[in-house]
């Protein structure tokens, strides 16, 4: 039975039993306590908590999920995946255990011909929570399952929550016995590989608090009603019904895995290590495809980092499999899109954009590997110079945090150079970063309590009526007053307050446009200075500010007025953003899609997809084209229409953005037409001037243009003109000749620096002949020991040692020892010729002798080695220690 048919059959069964079929929500969670949707119940969480009234009492869905807590187990087990689809049926205060358990049993054990999955009842096992006698009784008496196939388990296994504060409850899990070939007898408590979990029935009746792990958290109390939340992993069910050993061999993941094997030339099933890598690739490519389709882009923070980590694990494993630097992600992404396209048609519609993001990240990681490897090599060299064999945990963290190096890659590269990594420090830094992120998230006060306040206001007062397209001020009624996250009903002078009005001229920050500022005044009684406006819940405008004077009370009639000069300046920036977008598309083609923006008063930034930077000529062309449009003074028109009609008109939609049925189109005749809810100018001439400041990279395949608009642009042009005038005067050159004059000065400076470096190196090496001529014989070995002048670099010391060794030749054993203090710490270099090595004198061992005297360590090859320590005063003693070791040979 194909995966798509399993999903269709599940939904059909519950729809027949009175459930509303709800489409999958985006992987980008609306819940601010989560980065990504990690369970099928996440979109229904406000209903379970009683924050919102559900529009139905029964629902069923196939929800896209991403969970990375067990990412290191992906590929190693038969059931772990980072992306999975959760089939679920939900009851909101309707049926409870007595309904959920029989529903599950009927669907699982009914014949395929009758719309079920055809499981053999004699191969089914269940678990229930320790004290859940009610669930066990239903399984035994209503379903007829023998008592010896019902097992009780503790909180870690049979009590479910999302891992964060929210709804929770005991659960009953259903398992399928795959037979003795898969493991030991004894039910799920004995072997969860043989007894594979297929369905989890969660009896959602409690609310949990803060805590860690699966057991260490308090139960705060009961939910407003008893609910049902079930989850059946679509991939696990497909593995069973398709008769394969694991989820990676099903009809969807299996296609990606087989193509990865073809591309890398590795046979699946021949080697466990390569099999794990192939499974990781198959899972991660599909996960990345689904994340990008929902608008996530690779980055160094939050969900962008999740995507980047997944993509880079894929690329790393592909390179381990193929043994080269081939680019395979485009091909594999195409397979993933085709495999999942029947269930999610939007994948095929957005295929070009998905490819653009993933291809760019693959290329970026290839560049990053080169840059990161250079950083690693420098850090490894620094480690050896210090006499240590332990690679710094801080350097490992920097490789991870800045270059996206998985720690296992750093461990492998360190081992190749005879170094071990300070993993303890690395993990401490990782934990510190996680804790900082948690503190930051908590400081935003976006937990369940705050959401419930906003949700109640939205439910009782309805969505905020936005007047700002046509009005800059107006009368409104106060629906809610919130202080410190709680609805207080009143706020007084000095209070930081959040106000919810029934209508407002204030624009709430969205679509890259910053929020309006202004005042909310109660006639004769109080004034609030509005500093920010947000929409924590769709449709609800929350005005954040400080009570400057008096007080404000719920049900007050107020006068809301925005700062019109600021609004006009921000609107000019927003309109300029649309124009720059069109100019970039004209210059680079339709692949230059919007990837983010920010519109401030007089200033903007615009992020766009591109695999290469713009050169100076392209930047100048974009700037000129935009200003030509300003000179034409094109009228800006607005219309509201359906999404389909807007797209038919050629309006651009932001990739990954979710739009409703009705959308607003901002139309600048034939030059620019986009879906946009922001505020804009009436005609392009009102922008005055647009000055592009420059272009830079902000991530894999994403570039950023920054620009000034209006008076800010004019001031910048005036400042630059004055600076050029000063340079022209100082260099005594006309303005048009400044680039050539400055180029010539820079060239002379670089040539001088190279000459200084050459002379310095020559000065060090000029003593090589004298040192070789004065070599002493110790026990039949020609030995040279030399202390360099302080400040001589370790690299020059190494060159000197090799030069002297070369002059000594190979006719007799020879050892050269050069030591010095390049900076604050001493360094020693030992070079041994082949005859010395044959007689048992190896450079790696001798450098260790010297380094230990210096208070450090070191090592290297038998012919050349380097070490160091911390005791600069012991350099002469270290040289003598090497001579003594040679004498003993």
Chain segment 114-171, per-residue pLDDT in tens:
999 999 999 999 999 999 999 999 999 999 999 999 999 999 899 988 777 888 999 9
Residue 583 maps to a domain: yes
For residues 279 and 311, membership in a common domain is answered with: yes
Domain CATH number, residue 529: 2.40.30.130
Read off the pLDDT of each residue in 77-105 and give the average, rounded to a whole number. 90
Q: Is the same domain home to 118 and 169?
A: yes
Q: Which residue has the higher pLDDT, 789 or 477?
A: 477
Domain's final residue, options 686, 719, 752 = 719
User: Is 328 annotated to bind ligand?
Assistant: no
Task: Tell me the torsion sign for CA atoms 638, 641, 643, 646.
Answer: negative
State how far the Cα of 738 lies from the Cα of 741, in Å rounded to an integer: 5
In a domain, 124, yes or no: yes
Tens digit of pLDDT for each residue in 5-19?
A: 999 999 999 999 999
In a domain, 415, yes or no: yes
Residue 255's contacts (CB-CB under 8 Å, 6 or more residues apart) are 335, 338, 339
Are 243 and 274 part of one and the same domain?
no
Based on the domain organization, do 744 and 653 belong to the same domain?
A: no
Structure tokens of 737? Answer: 């000749």
pLDDT band at 584 (very low <50, low <70, confident <90, very high): very high
CATH number at residue 209: 3.30.930.10
Please determine, for residue 508, whether its predicted confidence score (pLDDT) is greater than 60.
yes
In this predicted structure, the answer to whether residue 449 has a pLDDT above a threshold of 50 is no
Is the sign of the CA dihedral 7, 13, 15, 19 positive or negative? negative
Indicate if 264 and 393 belong to the same structural domain. yes
Closest CA to 195 of 130, 141, 240: 240
Q: What CATH code is carried by the domain that includes residue 786?
A: 3.10.310.40
CATH number of the domain where residue 598 is located: 3.30.980.10
- Is 779 inside a domain boundary? yes
Q: Which of 409, 425, 443 is the last residue of a domain?
A: 443
CA gap 572, 630 in Å, rounded: 11
Domain final residue pick, 411, 443, 475 = 443
| Among 338-347, 696-705, 734-743, the least confident range | 696-705
Query: pLDDT higher for 185 or 789?
Result: 185
Domain span at residue 863 reads 767-887
- pLDDT score recorded for residue 170: 95
pLDDT of residue 441: 46
Instruction: Tell me: pLDDT of 699 over 80.
Output: no
Backbone angles phi, psi at 154, to 5 degrees: -85, -165
CA distance 307 to 442: 23
What percent of the chain is predicted at pLDDT more than 90? Answer: 55
Residue 278: name the closest of 252, 291, 259 by CA.
259
More confident position, 85 or 317: 85
Q: Are residues 438 and 318 in the same domain?
A: yes
Integer Cα distance of 815 and 780 in angstroms: 11
Residues 546 and 658 in one domain: no
Cβ-contact 537, 454 below 8 angstroms: yes
For residue 442, what pLDDT is reported?
46
3-state secondary structure of 538: coil
Contact call for residues 251 and 238 (beta carbons, < 8 A): yes
Count of domains forming the chain: 6
Distance CA 504, CA 544 (A): 13
Shared domain check, 173 and 227? yes
Q: How far is CA 20 from CA 3, 205, 255, in A?
A: 21, 21, 32
pLDDT recorded at residue 79: 67
pLDDT-derived band at 35, boundaries 50, 70, 90: confident
> Is residue 786 marked as binding?
no
836-873: per-residue pLDDT in tens? 999 999 998 999 999 999 988 776 789 999 988 888 89
Taking CA atoms, 589 is separated from 362, 583, 820, in Å, by 21, 10, 58
pTM over 0.85: no
Task: Based on the fold, state whether residues 267 and 281 are members of the same structural domain.
Answer: yes
Residue 439 is predicted with a pLDDT of: 55
pLDDT digits (tens, 9 = 90+) for 268-292: 988 888 888 999 999 999 999 999 9
Does a structural domain hold residue 725? Answer: no
- In terms of domains, do 574 and 538 share one? no
Q: How far is residue 634 CA from its own chain's centroid?
A: 40
For residues 551-563, give the mean pLDDT. Answer: 95
Residue 709 lies in a domain: yes
Query: Three-state DSSP class for 188?
Result: coil
pLDDT exceeds 90 at position 643: no
pLDDT at 702: 81
Q: Evaluate if residue 554 carries a pLDDT over 50.
A: yes
680 is in an annotated binding site: yes
Q: How sure is the predictor about 57, in pLDDT bands with cuts at 50, 70 and 90?
A: very high
* pLDDT(255) > 90: yes
In a shared domain, residues 433 and 364: yes
What pLDDT score does 443 carry? 44
Mean pLDDT of the chain, nearest integer = 89
Neighbours of 572 (CB within 10 A): 27
Q: Do residues 545 and 623 share a domain?
A: no
pLDDT digit string (tens) for 757-768? 778 777 767 788
What are residue 233's DSSP bridge partners?
86
> What letter would DSSP give residue 112?
G
User: Residue 656 — pLDDT band, cuts 50, 70, 90?
Assistant: low
Is residue 447 pLDDT above 50, yes or no?
Answer: no
- Cβ neighbours around 199 below 10 Å, total: 23
Question: Is 728 inside any structural domain?
Answer: no
400 is known to lie in a ligand binding site: no
* 727 within a domain of the structure (yes/no): no
């Amino acid at each position: 039975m194909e995966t798509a048919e399993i999903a269709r059959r599940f939904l059909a069964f519950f729809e027949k039993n009175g459930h509303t079929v709800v489409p999958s929500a985006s992987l980008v969670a609306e819940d601010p306590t989560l980065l990504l949707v990690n369970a099928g119940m996440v979109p229904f969480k406000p209903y379970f908590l009683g924050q919102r009234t559900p529009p139905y009492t029964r629902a069923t869905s196939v929800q896209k999920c991403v969970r990375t807590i067990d990412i290191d187990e992906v590929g190693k087990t038969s059931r772990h995946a980072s992306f999975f689809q959760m089939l679920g049926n939900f009851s909101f205060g309707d049926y409870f255990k007595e309904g959920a358990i029989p529903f599950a049993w009927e669907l699982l054990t009914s014949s395929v011909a009758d719309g079920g999955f055809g499981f053999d009842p004699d191969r089914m096992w269940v678990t229930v929570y320790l004290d859940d006698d009610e669930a066990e009784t239903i399984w035994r008496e209503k379903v007829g399952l023998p008592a010896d196939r019902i097992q009780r388990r503790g909180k870690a296994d049979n009590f479910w929550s999302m891992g964060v504060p929210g709804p929770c409850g005991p659960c009953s899990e259903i398992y399928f016995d795959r037979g003795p070939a898969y493991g030991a007898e004894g039910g799920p408590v004995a072997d969860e590989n043989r007894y594979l979990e297929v369905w989890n029935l969660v009896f959602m009746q409690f609310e949990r608090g803060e805590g860690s792990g699966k057991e260490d958290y308090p139960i705060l109390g009961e939910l407003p009603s008893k609910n049902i939340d079930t989850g059946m992993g679509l991939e696990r069910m497909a593995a069973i019904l398709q008769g394969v050993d694991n989820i990676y061999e099903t009809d969807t993941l299996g296609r990606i895995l087989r193509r990865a094997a073809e591309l890398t030339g590795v046979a699946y099933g021949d080697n466990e290590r390569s099999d794990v890598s192939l499974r990781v690739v198959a899972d991660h490519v599909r996960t990345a495809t689904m994340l990008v389709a929902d608008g996530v882009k690779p980055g160094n923070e939050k969900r962008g980092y999740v995507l980047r980590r997944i993509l880079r694990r894929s690329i790393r494993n592909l390179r381990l499999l193929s043994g080269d630097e081939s680019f395979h992600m485009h091909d594999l992404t195409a397979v993933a899109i085709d495999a999942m396209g029947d269930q999610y048609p939007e994948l095929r519609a957005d295929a070009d954009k998905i490819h653009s993001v993933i291809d760019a990240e693959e290329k970026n990681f290839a560049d990053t590997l080169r840059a990161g490897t250079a950083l690693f090599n420098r850090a490894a060299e620094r480690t050896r110079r210090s006499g240590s064999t332990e690679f710094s945990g801080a350097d490992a963290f920097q490789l991870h945090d800045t270059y996206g190096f998985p720690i296992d890659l750093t461990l492998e590269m360190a081992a190749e150079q005879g170094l071990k990594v300070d993993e303890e420090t690395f993990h401490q830094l990782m934990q510190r970063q996680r804790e900082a992120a948690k503190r930051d998230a908590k400081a935003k006060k976006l937990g369940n309590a705050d959401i419930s306040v906003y949700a109640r206001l939205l439910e009782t007062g309805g969505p905020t009526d936005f007047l700002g397209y046509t009005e800059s001020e107006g009368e409104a009624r106060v629906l809610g007053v919130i202080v410190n996250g709680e609805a207080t009903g009143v706020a007084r002078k000095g209070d930081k307050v959040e106000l919810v009005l029934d209508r407002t001229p204030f624009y709430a920050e969205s679509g890259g446009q910053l929020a309006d500022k202004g005042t909310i005044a109660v006639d004769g009684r109080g004034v609030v200075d509005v500093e920010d406006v947000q929409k924590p819940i769709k449709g609800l405008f929350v005005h954040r500010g400080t009570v400057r004077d008096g007080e404000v009370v719920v049900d007050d009639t107020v006068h809301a007025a925005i700062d019109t000069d600021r609004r006009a300046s921000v609107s000019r920036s927003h309109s300029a953003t649309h124009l720059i977008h069109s100019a970039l598309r004209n210059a680079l083609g339709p692949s230059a899609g919007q990837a983010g923006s920010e519109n401030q008063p007089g200033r903007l930034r615009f992020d766009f997809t591109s695999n290469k930077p713009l050169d100076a000529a392209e930047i100048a062309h974009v700037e000129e084209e935009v200003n030509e449009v300003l000179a034409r003074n094109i009228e800006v028109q607005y219309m509201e229409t359906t999404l389909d009609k807007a797209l038919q008109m050629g309006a651009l939609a932001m990739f990954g953005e979710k739009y409703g049925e009705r959308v607003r189109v901002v139309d600048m005749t034939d030059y620019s037409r986009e879906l946009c809810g922001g505020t804009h100018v009436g005609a392009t001439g009102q922008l005055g001037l647009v000055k592009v400041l420059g272009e830079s990279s902000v991530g894999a395949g994403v570039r950023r243009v920054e620009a000034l608009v209006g008076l800010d642009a004019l001031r910048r042009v005036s400042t630059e003109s004055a600076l050029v005038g000063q340079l022209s005067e100082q260099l005594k050159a006309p303005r048009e000749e400044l680039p050539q004059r400055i180029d010539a000065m820079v060239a002379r400076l670089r040539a001088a620096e190279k000459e200084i470096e050459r002379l310095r190196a020559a000065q060090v090496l000029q003593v090589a002949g004298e040192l070789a001529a004065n070599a002493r014989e110790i026990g039949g070995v020609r030995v040279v020991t030399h202390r360099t002048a302080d400040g001589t670099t370790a690299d020059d010391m190494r060159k000197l040692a090799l030069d002297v060794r070369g002059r000594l030749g190979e006719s007799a054993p020879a050892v050269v020892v050069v030591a010095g203090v390049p900076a604050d710490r001493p360094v020693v270099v030992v070079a041994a010729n082949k005859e010395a090595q044959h007689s048992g004198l190896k450079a790696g061992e001798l450098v260790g002798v010297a380094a230990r005297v210096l208070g450090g360590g070191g090592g290297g090859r038998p012919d050349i080695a380097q070490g160091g320590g911390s005791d600069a005063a012991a350099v002469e003693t270290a040289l003598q220690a090497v001579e003594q070791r040679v004498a003993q040979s």
